[in-house]
Amino acid sequence: MQLVQRVCDKLKLGEENKNDIILINLNGLILNDDRVALKDITRQLHLENVVGDRVFGSFAENLAFLLQALKCGSQECKSLIFIIEEFDLFCYHKNQTLIYNLFDIVQSSQTPVAVVGITCRLDVIELLEKRVRSRFSHRQINLFNQYNFDDYMNIVKNLLQLPEDFSDFLQRNQWNGHIEKLLEERGAKSVLRRQFETNKNIRNLKKLLVLSVSQISDKHPFLKTSNFIDAQALQTVDTKASMLKGLSLLEMVLVISMVHLTVLYEREPINFEMVYNEYKKFASRKSSLQCIEKTVVFKAFEHLQTLELVIPMTGSTLTTPKPFRLVRVLMDPIQVKEALQRYPNLPTELEQWASFMLSDIS
Amino acid sequence: MQFTSLIEQTKKEKFSWIGEGKQVNRRKRNELHYSECTLSNCKIAVKDFVLVRNDDCMDSENLQNCFVGQVQDLFDTGEGNNENHRAVLQWYSRISEIPPRHQKQLKAANSKWEVLQDTRTNFDSNIDVETIFGKCSVIFLQPYDNTDTEETENLPRFYCRWKYNGFHFEPVKEFEVTKTKVKINTRNVKSKSTNGRLEQYNYQHAALPLVEKEILEDSRDHSPEIELQAPIHELEKVQKSHAKYEEQSASFKQVEKLTRQRSRTKKRDSLKIQKLCCKEREKNISPKGWNENHFSPSIETSKVFLKDLRVRIDISDFKKSKTALGKSQFSRFDVKKLENGLKDDIEKKSFLRKNKDYWMTNSGNKVCPLVMAEVPEDKFIRSFSEERNPPKSKKQRFSVSAKKLQVDEESSEDDYENVEEDTDSDEDFEIVSSVKKTSKRRNPTGQKSKNKGTCQTLGRKIKRLRPVIPSRQTPCSVSENPLELARVKLHVSAVPEYLPCREYEYSDIYSFIEGKLFDESGGCMYISGVPGTGKTATVREVMRCLTQARDSGEVPLFQFIEINGLRLTDPHHFYSQLLQELTHEKATTSHAAELLEQRFTKPGLKRDHVVLLVDELDLLWTRKQDVMYHIFDWPTYPHSKFIVIAIANTMDLPEKIMLNRISSRLGLTRISFQPYTHKQLQEIVMSRVQGLNAFDPDAVQLVARKVAAISGDARRALDICRRATEITKLESKHKASPEKGSRHLVGMGQIEQALQEMFTSPKIAAMRSSSLQEKLFLKAVVAEYQRSGLEEATFSQIFKQHVAICRLEGIQPPTPSECAAICSYLGSCRLLLVEDGQKDILQCVRLNMSVDDVNYALQN
């Protein structure tokens, strides 16, 4: 989008073309319907003054109106540039009417019209209907993040360093020198490399850098490697594992038994009765832990459901009694193990049982 | 149903024959011919002129839409069905009903009261008597006679000057001697003589511009004489009318005074003429208010003289004469002859336009208030409205004159502001002219009503306004570079003069439509073919040729309508669209469907063929398929004259989606457009770049072969060639200094590049440029595929594989959350197909390409 915007700006700045271009920006997320899109096009074309006393109601009328406008143009008309963001969403409109007509105008009339579609989908052409595809000019420009780690580091440097025209010359030099030194450090480099390997996106990089830079305060006026590490830890934290940390012991026991059951039955859905049975086995074996009533256990189970660690099966009917409703477990044994390691004050009995329960899996 | 039968009943009751029926034809014993009948209290006899309902219009009994005819015969078929009362008519067509190319010939007589005796044979003259709804009168005139608007018996009156047989016009003979005719005759004598004068004058004017004065004298002497020749009762009438329009004449006198004052400063001769004009006008006042046409010859003569006599001709004056010229029947001759003389005036006019402000003050302040003060306003308004009697709008007349003289300011209709300005200035002229000429409808008070008029015309104009993209300030640069020319020619929209490689289909379609047109029957044709095989282009080409043939009179009349299924928002909208194209009327879909049903299924009156092109037929599919049913049902009716050409992509559409009753109506007239072969594609491209030294023939062949192997889509081939020319152009720019003489041919290399751009999937490139973890994830997917043997895996399984691969490669494995982010990123690019995120680790993941592709892309 930035690229297209820049091209358009350049086109607009060009002396001769300055007044001969009409840009029309359409966004598939905003214009979720051809009807809305048409109205927006008419608005952006400033056809409203021509519309005059016309009732701006019927979709069909609008379409006919706009088509007429676009068709009757000739070489002398201003160039129209349609920039369609989230182009793939327009393909889901009924019959693809709008894009068919836009392409048809491009292909069949003398009005100078260009249509630029922007999308993240690589297979967007396959979404087009056959007759629409035939009218598409098949010009594609693919933008990929084709840079290596050195380029990536340069981008980081550019982002972090203060610009040349920064008012305080001394501070700029100090800061920039510091950044250069920092980026040479091994710790910072490894953090950035990891980020690079996970995701080449500049957007994600910016997120990381913002997090690190926001840790700067009066006491620590410069960026440190530790800031990077903290930021990355914040970003890469596993949400499930951290959620498990906050569970009560009982819930933890339930989670362990559920994961065990899931693996045992090869990912078949389970229900509360099975889990309770597993819990009773555990409770009877380890007498040191207090045995808890079934209703309380069920409450804990429901709590897990609200946390969406467990989701009900879509097929289960409301007629089935609650304890027998089938659920699916959305946790991996690896996640559970990790969570157990970090769980504060985990009773040794539970720890042993858990390692026993989860060991037969992997 | 009950309601309609009730109506029929009442109609029946109102209808009755008068007198005894006669048997004319022995074979048809039941056929009884009558000479008179009554129809809802209206007596209709043979030789009467009648008005016939036009069922194609919304308001079928509107005077402006109905048909006019003369009853030749009345008879009862005696068959006992609803339509046994028949009448044979001689049709009289309005000018709007004849083909536009012939309308042009009659432009001068462009009046809605004008009719032509229509002797074309392609209209059924045998109609149901009950479609007659009223009587009228038709007056036969000599071609250059003037019309008058005396209405007798409160019947609408039409004027007929010409006979039309579909090819040319002949003057109608006066074959009836009626009471009105006497009157008309005298009038004819009068106007004819003036006409003769004028023509004579015109000829002389063309030859010797200096004799005018003489003629002026001549005509002055002459016209009163003519008046005296008129019958006495006529004079009496005139006197009566004089009395009746006393106020009016009073106002004339006042204005006359004014003009005298003004014109005295000019020339005496003109004054005389003014007087003369006034006199003549006063005498000419007819009881029903005076139609302008009535005086046009005399006024015109005087005006022309005025114009010529006065060296400093007034702009308004000129305009007046111009409008009168445009209005009158012989303007055709006049304008041509006067054109030379008028050139000066046009120049002057443009000069005056510049000084519009001056005129505003001059005319608006000085003259207009004077008159306004002298005459009470209401009288004027009244007289004005009375005078407006046949509401020939001033706009119309102006547009005629504007066309004649090609004054471009007035012809620019689309520009709102311009129009306004124009009418403004018109008003200025008007004011001046009205004072000058004391005149007619355009007296000073006209100003007020005229404002109303302009409002109306403006309103009409807004409705007619077409939305326009603002025009650019700097024109597109047109380069003479052969590459650039080739690029323009290769654009799909640049349709060549003929379509190569579709000759067979072309002749098929042509002969089909032509045959139906000559047979006066309806029919359908179904055309199928994959996109880009020239279906629509071929049909349009056929229609273009047929339209030419129609305009030169070789083919019967028809109306061509094109409707594209994708341009309709709803299949049912088809009806209203069709109706609008047919009659320029708007209606709701259901109402339009009714009207169309009536038009096509009921035996109609004067109707031309309708050729309908339905593009993208499959989009008109509805659950009940009623739209499609109607499209193919209407042509089967004997009177519909409806020819349908339906276009769609799939060959078996009729069998696949249509109900049996529809596909049987569609019939078997089908043409299938095969995809172009590589030779044809080559020919198409070559025909476009012919004469331009821009393409290597081998390169074109490469394109043709490539495209033919994939789709046979001509659009694609043209696009590739266009892209290749662009690449060549870029390359030539990059080369530091291309020698001036060297031409840049589009060669194999450029074509290859263009093909690469268009046909290679971006997926491999996308995979190659993705990050390490993303690559590993794809690898994990492949590994999971291989492990399970299924082409689908859940996220948790893949995650396990992913972690394993990471450990193998010695890379720190990502957390599940990170991995989910990677997964959704790849899913948004559609490298993977991912279920929605709600299922979390249980969501199914599939590759959106083959495993080989992944392996190939990630092997390094």
Task: Tell me how far apart the alpha carbons of residues A324 and A303 are, in angstroms, rounded to a whole number.
Answer: 16
- How many other C-beta atoms can be found within 10 angstroms of the C-beta atom of residue A277? 12
Each residue's pLDDT tens digit, B47-84: 778 777 766 555 656 666 677 778 877 777 766 666 67
CB contact at 8 A, A76 and A112: no
Each residue's pLDDT tens digit, B704-762: 888 888 888 888 888 888 888 888 888 877 764 444 444 567 778 888 888 888 877 78
A21 CA: distance to closest CA in chain B (Å): 8
A156 CA: distance to closest CA in chain B (Å): 17
Each residue's pLDDT tens digit, B227-239: 434 444 544 554 5
Between B352 and B86, residue with greater pLDDT:
B86
A221 CA: distance to closest CA in chain B (Å): 31
Is A142 within 8 Å of B766 when comparing Cβ atoms?
yes
pLDDT at A11: 67
pLDDT at A344: 79
Task: Tell me how far apart the alpha carbons of residues A182 and A165 are, in angstroms, rounded to a whole number.
Answer: 22
Average pLDDT, chain B: 66
Residue B50 sits at φ, ψ, to 5 deg, of -130, 160
Q: What element of type H or E holds B417?
A: helix B416-437
Is A131 within 8 Å of B649 when comparing Cβ atoms?
yes
Q: How confident is the model at residue B586 (pLDDT cuts 50, 70, 90)?
A: confident
B741 touches chain A (CB under 8 A): no
Between B167 and B519, residue with greater pLDDT:
B519
Give pairs for B19-28: CB < 8 Å, separation 24+. B21/B75, B21/B76, B24/B75, B28/B77
Each residue's pLDDT tens digit, B481-515: 777 777 777 777 666 667 778 888 889 999 998 88
Task: Tell me how far apart the alpha carbons of residues B539 and B526 are, in angstroms, rounded to a whole number.
Answer: 11
Model confidence at A179: pLDDT above 60: yes
Angle between helices B268-284 and B212-229 (to 10 degrees): 20
ipTM of predicted assembly, 2 dp: 0.86
Task: Tell me how far apart the alpha carbons of residues B375 and B386 are, in angstroms, rounded to a whole number.
Answer: 17
A103 CA: distance to closest CA in chain B (Å): 11
A174 touches chain B (CB under 8 A): no
pTM of the model: 0.65
Nearest by CB to residue B469, choosing from A69, A95, A308, is A69
- How many other C-beta atoms can be found within 10 angstroms of the C-beta atom of residue B170? 12
Each residue's pLDDT tens digit, B120-140: 666 667 777 777 777 777 777
Nearest by CB to residue A110, choosing from B493, B762, B815, is B493
Please work out, in degrees rounded to the nearest 5, the angle formed at the alpha carbon of residue B595 by the alpha carbons of B590 and B597.
90
pLDDT at B632: 87
Lowest mean pLDDT among A18-27, B238-247, B843-852: B238-247
For B191-208, what is the mean pLDDT?
42
For A295-307, what is the mean pLDDT?
88
Task: Tell me how far apart the alpha carbons of residues A287 and B563 are, in angstroms, rounded to a whole number.
Answer: 84
Model confidence at A314: pLDDT above 50: yes
Task: Tell me how far apart the alpha carbons of residues B283 and B542 are, in angstroms, rounded to a whole number.
Answer: 59
- The amino acid sitting at A178 is H
Task: Please identify which residue in the block is written with the tokens 């859940």.
Answer: B794
Lowest mean pLDDT among A135-149, B106-120, B319-333: B319-333
Each residue's pLDDT tens digit, B372-413: 333 344 443 343 433 444 443 344 444 333 334 333 333 333
Q: How confident is the model at residue A63 (pLDDT cuts 50, 70, 90)?
A: confident
- Cβ-based contacts of A335 with chain B (< 8 Å): 816
* Residues 617-656, chain B, touching A (beta carbon < 8 A): 619, 649
- The amino acid sitting at B496 is P
Each residue's pLDDT tens digit, B148-186: 555 455 667 777 777 776 666 777 654 443 433 334 343
Task: Tell me how far apart the alpha carbons of residues B801 and B780 are, in angstroms, rounded to a whole number.
Answer: 5
The residue in chain A having the minimum alpha-carbon distance to the alpha carbon of residue B711 is A134
Nearest by CB to residue B773, choosing from A63, A77, A197, is A197
The residue in chain B having the minimum alpha-carbon distance to the alpha carbon of residue A332 is B796
pLDDT at B544: 87
